[in-house]
Chains A and B, each alone.
Chain A
Amino acid sequence: MHSWQLPRLRPGAIAVWRRNILVWRKLLVPAILMNFGEPVLYLLGLGFGLGRFVGEMAGMPYLVFLASGIIASSAMTTATFEGMYSVFTRMVPQKTYEAILATPLEVDDILAGEMLWCGTKSLFSGMAILAVATVLGATASWQSLWVIPVVFLIGLCFAGPALIMSSLASNYDFFNYYFVLVITPMFVLCGVFYPVESLPAAVQGVVQVLPLTHAVVLSRWLVAGTPLGLPLLHMAVLLAYALVSYYFAVVLVRRKLQV
């Protein structure tokens, strides 16, 4: 089999996804604590704390602005952590993939299952934040429930690059580069905490190609009710990131595990 061959989608991916959800279920309490604890701290600490000084931002209470941004950024970090630390653990020290590859499943199926699982974890995190934000009065209407499928898409979009990092890593420390050079800059620059428009023009140009910017715009549209011109375009950007990165991750993992 050629490593550049296009991946095929087969039902085996669901078996891999199911394995992960069964493991997750065993560690349900810390997982739920993480899902709820983080956003509660952010929304209470920053939303109310900082919000008291900021007042309104982009024409809405700061808590509303922040909540819609955190839903997107949290989907990013959730998928990124899962796609790097957990996937690397299964791929290298734990040899789970070696065991799975001794069955009819292929690398294509394993990584498709991991993508779906990363998206699912982002979905859990998004739902938890949405619940907290709703209790705090930071959601516009029932329409904000539409952010749930979008959060799944955001998860896929960041899962692919994380899988690529896992295939390139020789140890866990390697992931620090990706966090410092890619994830943290997006977290700070892509409109989670303040509008992108307030950045210098040159930086704005760069920020517009980053996926988190599109994720935040979509989330703010659905959760805070900010008008949005071309939602499908932003979704297409996220989907493109997901598909292209999935393909390259499959190629790289085939080369890593099937030499």
Chain B
Amino acid sequence: MDIPDGAAKHPDDPIIRARGLAKAFDGRSAVKGIDFDIYPGRCFGFVGPNGAGKTTTLRMTMGLTPPSGGTLSVFGLPVSGHASAIRARVGIVPQADNLDPDFTVEENLQIYASFFGLARRQVTSRIDALLEFVSLADRRRARTDTLSGGMQRRLTIARALINDPELVVLDEPTTGLDPQARHVIWGRLAELKAQGKTLLLTTHYMEEAERLCDELLIMDRGGILAQGSPRRLIEEHVEREVIELRGRQSTALAQLADASGCRVERMGSSLYCYTQRSDALIETLKGQRGLQFLHRPAGLEDVFLRLTGRELRD
């Protein structure tokens, strides 16, 4: 079946619809009237620097904090007044693990099921399957404080799946994990998507966003800077190739790059030259002695830095 890009892409109603969604804390505006739709069966990512408003947006959609303005519906229900019914159909993975330290791995899942009104015998086989899914079957009687960071994260993901949710919401799912643990989580999330679940995540790792998400929304300072698939964002916002120049750079070198028609950005002691055609510049650079440079295709990180700027955020 051939579906043209763009048109007829979303045959379903959106799972989440936000219009003019806003949140202010004591007069300080954290989310400034944003619009977005999240469609079923896809992975949708909010990316942005710290303090961009990602977590606040997630919390509003789950009815964990009331919006200061705008309209917001999830599964076609207005969040205000239906938060409890909505959360019954969602799995939430919070930014920091909050497993119950008084219980074992298995008990954590049993207790969590009880908060959804699920009886123990209803979830016995589901718990087995979930522990298998997150590779923790052999640790089911371990206390949670004996688990590694990656294991705790996997258990938190298993816990979020206890109610067989239609939508799984993950706030920075791999922050603080080592590369091995991160790759395992990515694999599991990809499996969930293949099972037809809708994923909504926040991240500030562009690699994660690029790998997992079908659609991204780049946020900064409470607003939306850009939205689209990773590929489209790269095409729309940056040139195809980048040449990074490292080490001591003379003004002459910068002029050289400028003259070659690149868009040049400076960051510390590095120069970034963005260009559609790099051949000429590379030839010139090869002639320069003692110069280090890296030639690579432009990626999401370049889009992100171009849109949100390069200065530090705290």
Q: Is chain B found bound to chain A in the same assembly? A: yes
Give Cα A99–Cα B114 distance, bound, in whole angstroms.
13
Chain B 77-124 interface residues, beta-carbon cutoff 8 Å to A:
80-81, 83-85, 87-88, 92, 94, 96, 98-103, 107, 111-112, 114-117
Contact, CB under 8 Å: B117 / A26: no
B284 within 8 A of A: no
* B80 neighbours in A (Cβ, 8 Å): 1
A98 within 8 A of B: yes
Min CB distance A82 to B, Å, is 14
* A259 neighbours in B (Cβ, 8 Å): 25, 65
Min CB distance B226 to A, Å, is 29
B64 within 8 A of A: yes
Chain A 51-109 interface residues, beta-carbon cutoff 8 Å to B:
94-96, 98-106
Contact, CB under 8 Å: A99 / B98: yes
A15 within 8 A of B: yes
Contact, CB under 8 Å: B107 / A11: no
Chain B 19-62 interface residues, beta-carbon cutoff 8 Å to A:
25, 62
B187 within 8 A of A: no
A23 within 8 A of B: yes
Residues of A within 8 Å of B, CB-based: how many? 24
Are A99 and B117 CB-contacts (below 8 A) given A1-B81, A104-B84?
Answer: no
Instruction: Pick from A16, A22, A95: contact of B98, CB below 8 A.
Output: A95
Contact, CB under 8 Å: B65 / A258: yes
B76 within 8 A of A: no
* A234 neighbours in B (Cβ, 8 Å): none
Give Cα A105–Cα B92 distance, bound, in whole angstroms.
13
Interface SS of B by simple majority: loop
Min CB distance B113 to A, Å, is 9
* B66 neighbours in A (Cβ, 8 Å): 1, 258
Contact, CB under 8 Å: A102 / B87: yes
Residue pairs across A and B with CB atoms within 8 Å: the count is 67
Contact flags A136-177 to B (C-beta < 8 A → 1, else 0): 000000000000000000000000000000000000000000
Give Cα A16–Cα B87 distance, bound, in whole angstroms.
17
Give Cα A245–Cα B25 distance, bound, in whole angstroms.
27
Give Cα A16–Cα B81 distance, bound, in whole angstroms.
22
Give Cα A258–Cα B111 distance, bound, in whole angstroms.
23
A12 within 8 A of B: yes
Are A12 and B117 CB-contacts (below 8 A) given A26-B102, A99-B98?
Answer: yes
* B94 neighbours in A (Cβ, 8 Å): 95, 98-99, 102
Give Cα A103–Cα B62 distance, bound, in whole angstroms.
10
Are A22 and B111 CB-contacts (below 8 A) given A99-B94, A104-B85?
Answer: yes
Contact, CB under 8 Å: B88 / A104: yes
Contact, CB under 8 Å: A104 / B117: yes
Are A104 and B114 CB-contacts (below 8 A) given A23-B102, A99-B100?
Answer: no
Min CB distance B103 to A, Å, is 7
Give Cα A23–Cα B160 distance, bound, in whole angstroms.
21
* A98 neighbours in B (Cβ, 8 Å): 94, 98
Are A95 and B96 CB-contacts (below 8 A) given A18-B114, A22-B107, A26-B102?
Answer: yes
Contact, CB under 8 Å: A104 / B115: yes
Give Cα A98–Cα B98 distance, bound, in whole angstroms.
7
Min CB distance B180 to A, Å, is 26
Give Cα A22–Cα B104 distance, bound, in whole angstroms.
12
* A1 neighbours in B (Cβ, 8 Å): 63, 66, 80-81, 83
Give Cα A16–Cα B64 distance, bound, in whole angstroms.
18
Give Cα A11–Cα B92 distance, bound, in whole angstroms.
22
Give Cα A101–Cα B92 distance, bound, in whole angstroms.
10
Min CB distance A134 to B, Å, is 33
* A18 neighbours in B (Cβ, 8 Å): 114
* B101 neighbours in A (Cβ, 8 Å): 94
Give Cα A194–Cα B307 distance, bound, in whole angstroms.
74
9 tightest A-B CB contacts, nearest first: A95-B98, A102-B92, A103-B115, A99-B98, A23-B102, A15-B114, A104-B88, A104-B84, A104-B87
Contacts A/B (CB < 8 Å), 6 sampled:
A95-B96, A95-B98, A102-B92, A104-B116, A258-B64, A258-B66
